Structure 1
Amino acid sequence: MTRTALASAALAALLLAASPGETWAQARGGQGAPQAQAASIQPRTVTFAATLPQPGGVLVLPLGAADQLDARAAGLDPATRAGIERALASARFTYAARQTLSLRGLGDWDRILVVGTGPAASGSALQWSGAVAGRALVDETGPLTVLAEGLAPDAASAFVTGMGIGHYRSDLYRTSREPVLASGGVTVVASEHEAARSAFQGRGESLIRAMTWVRDISNEPANIIYPESFVARARQAFAGVSGVTIEVLDAPTMERLGMGALTAVGRGSARPPRLLVIRYRGEGAPEGGPVVLAGKGITFDSGGITIKPGENMGNMKMDMSGAASVTGAVLALATSRAPVDVVAVSALAENMPDGNAMRPGDVLTAMNGKTIEVISTDAEGRLVLADALTWAERNLNPAAVVDVATLTGSVRTALGDDYAGLFTRHDALADQLTAAGDVTGERLWRLPLDPGYAEDTRSSIADLMASNPGVGGGAGVGAHFIGEFISRDIPWAHLDIANMAYGGANDWKPAGSAGFAVRLLEQFVRDWRPIPRGAGN
């Protein structure tokens, strides 16, 4: 089904699913919304073979050192191999990870793309190099052939998975040019092609699908993606996937449950909030309760009454990146039938300023009964997560909870764009998350969750102050606040991904969403080792 058809189906589902108290305009996304999403690039079909197909199209040649050329390109004619060797020497190619060299006019190939993988390439390095290749070839419409001879099956799968991740375009609504529809598939040539096929189909395909879903929903404009339509898109993505259950709490239900923090954030919008709960329990999953991944899902953040500056406010359509990533991680695990027990909890709201919006100085009562003084209505992400974590603890008996949020600008000041911020009271959980980040290349840096932050969230009128602009350490203060809504004996971590979730174009992605934390969380849940309750500080 094309993206246009999928978008139309999703719109129809939303209209049918509108709650009785909600207007048709709210359900359809408001006047002026595009009626259908423009078709974008389609995923290529990947096949695996022991021998080189008929020359033609683009040849992709991953190399970590000069001495790999003879074995990897053994199926090419001698003249083409010699031409590649001369070009590499002339270009002083270093074989570093993510380095590329594009050659034309050699043999019967339209183009030969050499991609450096580094001399001791890990799975993550190969996946990143593959993503660079996919990005470089995103406008190619003919067949692609990947020479993976000599790569272990998992390594070949990692490279091709990366190609699928890099083969993404964010120009979802551009009508000024014809959409590029891939007419040729990808053929991966390797002696262990059956094992490589098994590895790719067992995991790689699902990661590509999940990354595409996360980037699409994050890049969509806020007149298309809002709490109700996020839910509809998620239902569509998980349709027919075994082992999955979906629960959705609407605004009246959340109000009856006392979720006064989450519902307050959504009060200023014509589009009501939602809590989306997606559980996947695979065959062979361990006992002991699910790993809960909770995501901040602010589908647009104007700042509310504490309104943001106009510059770059349009990027706030991606303030739901945490919710998108936790949903995508579970999608990858579920569609690959991983033997895990995992739940994605998405706290969805739109933060807008109108006559019903929360105000600075308001006092809210969260689901756990704690009262919260609102200082800035632009500190809304911690409010929606407060109720999401309380709900998860009361209803899911979690083995661990990891929340993911584009929470603070201060995390960028601390870490730049190299690491996401990690906060936790549990050393064993920090170790597992950091290890998953190292394996996938989506790296985390642990920052302090100091008891002194309690003073920075002390209110003179309520139990807690939601933010304190007068103090430094904003990322830590936000993390401490969220931690007040989960019992201390439950292993819990907070990931602040505000510096990593989106940005400009680079060598492996177009401008917009990076889909950050999907691969990190997927790896973390697969490798999860139970942590005893009360093992924190």
Structure 2
Amino acid sequence: MTEAAANQPVALTFTATDLDAIAKAQGLVALLAEGEAPKTPAARRLDRLTKGMVSRAMAGADWAKAKAGDSLTLAYPAGLMAEALMLVKLPRKATALEARKAGAAIGRALGPQGALVQCETHPQAAELSFGLALRAYDFSAHKSSQPPSRGPVALACSSPEAVAACAAPSAALAEGVFFTRDLVNEPANILTTDDFAARLAAMQELGLEVEILEEDDLKALGMRALLGVGQGSESPSKVVVMQWKGGPSDTAPFALVGKGVCFDTGGISIKPAGGMEEMTMDMGGAAVVAGVMRTLALRKAKANVVGLVGLVENMPDGRAQRPGDVVRSMKGDTIEVINTDAEGRLVLADVLWYTQERFKPSGMIDLATLTGAIIVALGHENTGVFSNDDALCNAFLAAAQAEGEGAWRMPMGEGYDAKLKSRVADIVNSCGRDGGSITAAHFLRRFVKDDMPWIHLDIAGTALLKTDSTLAPKGATGWGVMALNRLIRDRFEHKG
């Protein structure tokens, strides 16, 4: 965990506890367990230096009400060089998520002076450092005046070498989350389909095999549904294939598929102007796939995983797709385009089918900022989860819960599927407002083979937030990278 973003590095080191360093630290954080008095040698020394400020704070009502991971800041503490002393409640039996929350409190407050975090023997130190790094992220690449750099963080603990070793996999995971956030935060005039593909191709340096399918390749494959979405844009449509081969050569890969609409105007069915600027995030599904693949490569995962993303731009133009057009998918099904703003499912239809035909995966998960309807149903707290396989779905939901990433399984059924019937083609691409996220999932289900375990994740409500969250500033969250990495680690990684 050496940096929080390419433009905002945070140096994080692990060191042995040094009682003499407490008084001299420019930025100081103390992790304290529950109770009304400091108990460890470092905490007691800190209390003596501050002439009892720590013990008085711990005996107060605010500390008593504080939950694990909550913080209390004391300004200009006596006996210290630090202008402020942050007290963070972290019980010794705190969960991993509580430790991350404690770290996030530090990352949120971290300034140019950095911090000495007095951790003592807390076993959650690695998780705390992970939360700190995630929350210290700041996307400011396009600001003329850069914010002050975050200062270095020293995490003082009783076994620094052991904590550093434990934190190493989290460093790879943090970089995958940052990669996803950077992609989602980028404006569409920077992150074109060409630029997106180039950033993915650069990951060959990490050991990924990366292949870019251009429009001529897609035409030859029969991906007319995907190509129809991008035909009104100057940016060429592409499919990028990323392969990580860390498992046995005779083991089928697990597949991740992402929607990568680099900007979505809605096409001829154009969106309202208000809020359209947020459609730079409509490639969020592809960004999560990219972040997971980066994490797997960095941590040398012992699994075979393939990630495919369909990159397009949906623009109104004289060549653009029209409502009422009929396109033929790679599978061969014909699709009546009722609404050109229901474009993501057209992209995914072809990429899902191609993934199965070429790689014959052991299972498949697609991610997309697919519908506004899922936000109406679940708000911004949970991703909508749709699946045809209980075992895979339950495993994913368990992974998401363990990582603190909200996810909720949504219903599917024949009544919803019947709404896809078209007067002039095999199916329609949009069924109206009622059950909109569910009928969209049923559309995708038409391009999943009967024996293929599959999950669809509608991340429209969780990919980008207008307010801060526990582990991220407002903007891109990187939702899904942690849950998918855990799912692959627990369920698909070779244990030998």
TM range (shorter): over 0.9
Aligned equivalent of 2:15, options 41, 48, 54: 48
Specify the code of the residue in structure 2 equivalent to 1:528: R
Residues 1:484 and 2:450 are matched in the alignment: no
Q: SS of 1:148's equivalent?
A: strand
Structure 1 Cα separation of the partners of residues 34 and 134 of structure 2: 24
Residues 1:132 and 2:126 are matched in the alignment: no
Structure 2 Cα separation of the partners of residues 115 and 412 of structure 1: 34
Show structure 2 runs of 5+ residues with no match. Answer: none
Distance 1:195 1:264, change over 3 A: same
Structure 2 Cα separation of the partners of residues 520 and 346 of structure 1: 19
Specify the code of the residue in structure 1 equivalent to 2:427: L
User: Contact 2:90–2:98 at 8 Å: present in 1 too?
Assistant: yes
Aligned equivalent of 2:206, options 241, 247, 258: 241
Q: SS of 1:382's equivalent?
A: helix
Kindly tell me the number of residue pairs found equivalent between the two proteins: 483
Residues 1:473 and 2:435 are matched in the alignment: yes
Q: Deviations over 1:65-98 (max 9, x none)?
A: 2368422844744424632221233452233144
Structure 2 Cα separation of the partners of residues 194 and 379 of structure 1: 51
Q: How does 1:122-201 map to 2 (within 5 A)?
A: 122-137=95-110, 140-152=111-123, 155-175=124-144, 177-182=145-150, 184-201=151-168
Residues 1:83 and 2:46 are matched in the alignment: no
Distance 1:450 1:117, change over 3 A: farther
User: Contact 1:504–1:512 at 8 Å: present in 2 too?
Assistant: yes
Specify the code of the residue in structure 1 equivalent to 2:167: F
User: Paired residue for 1:26?
Assistant: none
Shift of 1:57: 2.1
User: Contact 1:296–1:321 at 8 Å: present in 2 too?
Assistant: yes
User: Paired residue for 1:212?
Assistant: 178
Aligned equivalent of 1:260, options 208, 217, 224: 224
User: Contact 1:298–1:350 at 8 Å: present in 2 too?
Assistant: yes
Aligned equivalent of 1:330, options 278, 293, 296: 293
Q: SS of 1:70's equivalent?
A: coil
User: Paired residue for 2:420?
Assistant: 457
User: Contact 2:251–2:304 at 8 Å: present in 1 too?
Assistant: no
Structure 2 Cα separation of the partners of residues 48 and 404 of structure 1: 40
Structure 2 Cα separation of the partners of residues 251 and 166 of structure 1: 39
Shift of 1:514: 1.0
User: Contact 2:14–2:160 at 8 Å: present in 1 too?
Assistant: no
Q: Deviations over 1:44-75 (max 9, x none)?
A: 24333343572312222334523684228447
User: Contact 1:49–1:187 at 8 Å: present in 2 too?
Assistant: no
Shift of 1:406: 0.7
Shift of 1:410: 1.0
Show structure 1 runs of 5+ residues with no match. Answer: 7-38, 531-537
Q: Deviations over 1:95-114 (max 9, x none)?
A: 31442212222223232222
Q: SS of 1:418's equivalent?
A: coil
Q: Show structure 1 runs of 4+ deviating over 6 A.
A: none
Structure 2 Cα separation of the partners of residues 72 and 229 of structure 1: 53
Specify the code of the residue in structure 2 equivalent to 1:101: L
Q: Deviations over 1:415-448 (max 9, x none)?
A: 1222111000100011100000110000211111
* Stretch moving more, 356-365 or 109-118: 109-118
User: Paired residue for 2:380?
Assistant: 417
Q: How high is the TM-score relative to the length of structure 2?
A: 0.92
User: Contact 1:389–1:485 at 8 Å: present in 2 too?
Assistant: yes
User: Contact 2:69–2:100 at 8 Å: present in 1 too?
Assistant: no
Specify the code of the residue in structure 2 equivalent to 1:135: R
User: Paired residue for 2:34?
Assistant: 65
Distance 1:67 1:195, change over 3 A: farther
Structure 2 Cα separation of the partners of residues 85 and 291 of structure 1: 53
C-alpha RMSD of the superposition = 2.2
